[in-house]
Amino acid sequence: MRIAITVVLFWYSLITSAQEIEGKWLVSLGNSLDVNSVPTVYIIEFKNGAVKSYGFDGSLSIIDQGRYSIIKDSIKIYYDKQTVVRPYRFIKENMLEVDYVLNNNGNKSIYSILYVKIIPTITKLTKEEIEESIYGTSIGVVDFDKDLEKYKGEIKKENQDFFKEKFFVQKIDETFVISTYSAGKIKDVALVKVVNSKEMILFGVRVDSSEMVLKNMNSKN
């Protein structure tokens, strides 16, 4: 009987882990990635045994895909030409840390990447309503640009704002994100957990602090 209970609990833990990992995950800001080998904004999705990797620049573009399974505390990913095993752990709710092996001239080292789960934004506001507001803290504000295509066209002229950071409101599925662009290219995105007429809560902004609260500078309350 004890053996049977142990087996049931083992399979239940695997099923639970697989369910928890299902969904889209964004590389948290603050991670150091080689932008020459992966997109600056990198997303991985686990769904019904399939895994897909995306680059994001206003829309999702698939860069890799395969199948996956959960083996104890590791994700086993089956690509066409290779199979990789990556240890993982949940460090907070909706925050996942995955270990990668870096091979540099035969010298192997392990580095960890933090992912945050892309969950629907809690809001009643439209994209246009968010763009009309200015959110910020005592150390700075986020003033949104509204026309990304116009910005990219102007940047090609290499004007004086070439390296100036610009902020845009975009969406990944049902999640609003604040995208930062410089020199016509996306640098990073922050997930919007909650946004209303008084404040905006960003999720997964820093490795040491999962949330950042920005106040609506236009609000009189």
Give yes or no: residues 70 and 166 share one domain: no
**In a domain? residue 122:** no
Q: CA–CA distance from 86 to each of 28, 68, 71 (Å)?
A: 18, 11, 10
**In a domain? residue 32:** yes
Give yes or no: residues 17 and 101 share one domain: yes
**In a domain? residue 131:** yes
Give yes or no: residues 31 and 61 share one domain: yes
Q: What is the pLDDT of residue 29?
A: 59
Give yes or no: residues 167 and 211 share one domain: yes
Which of the four pLDDT bands, split at 50, 70 and 90, describes residue 11? very low
pLDDT tens for each residue of 102-147: 777 778 888 888 889 999 999 999 999 999 999 988 777 888 988 8
Map the chain to HEC letters: CHHHHHHHHHHHHHHHHHHHHCEEEEECCCCCCCCCCCCCCEEEEEECCEEEEEEECCCEEEEEEEEEEEECCEEEEECCCCEEEEEEEEEECCEEEEEEEEEECCEEEEEEEEEEECCCCECCCCHHHHHCCEEEECCEEEEECCCHHHHHHHHCCCCCCCCCCEEEEEEECCEEEEEEEECCEEEEEEEEEEECCCEEEEECCCCCCCEEEEEECCCCC
Give yes or no: residues 32 and 109 share one domain: yes
Which of the four pLDDT bands, split at 50, 70 and 90, describes residue 220? low
Give yes or no: residues 112 and 6 share one domain: yes
Give yes or no: residues 61 and 107 share one domain: yes
**In a domain? residue 109:** yes
* Residue type for position 80: D
**In a domain? residue 221:** no
Which of the four pLDDT bands, split at 50, 70 and 90, describes residue 159? low
Q: What is the pLDDT of residue 7?
A: 36
**In a domain? residue 57:** yes
Per the CB < 8 A criterion, the answer to whether 182 and 163 are in contact is: yes
Q: Of 134, 95, 139, which Cα lies nearest the Cα of 115?
A: 95
Give yes or no: residues 107 and 171 share one domain: no
Q: What's the whole-model pTM score?
A: 0.80
Total tally of structural domains belonging to the chain = 2
CA distance 61 to 26: 14
Q: What is the pLDDT of residue 14?
A: 36
Give yes or no: residues 71 and 171 share one domain: no
- Of residues 56 and 23, more confidence is placed in 23
- Range(s) of the domain holding residue 27: 2-117
* Residue type for position 147: D
Give yes or no: residues 131 and 113 share one domain: no
The CATH number of whichever domain residue 111 belongs to comes to: 2.40.128.540
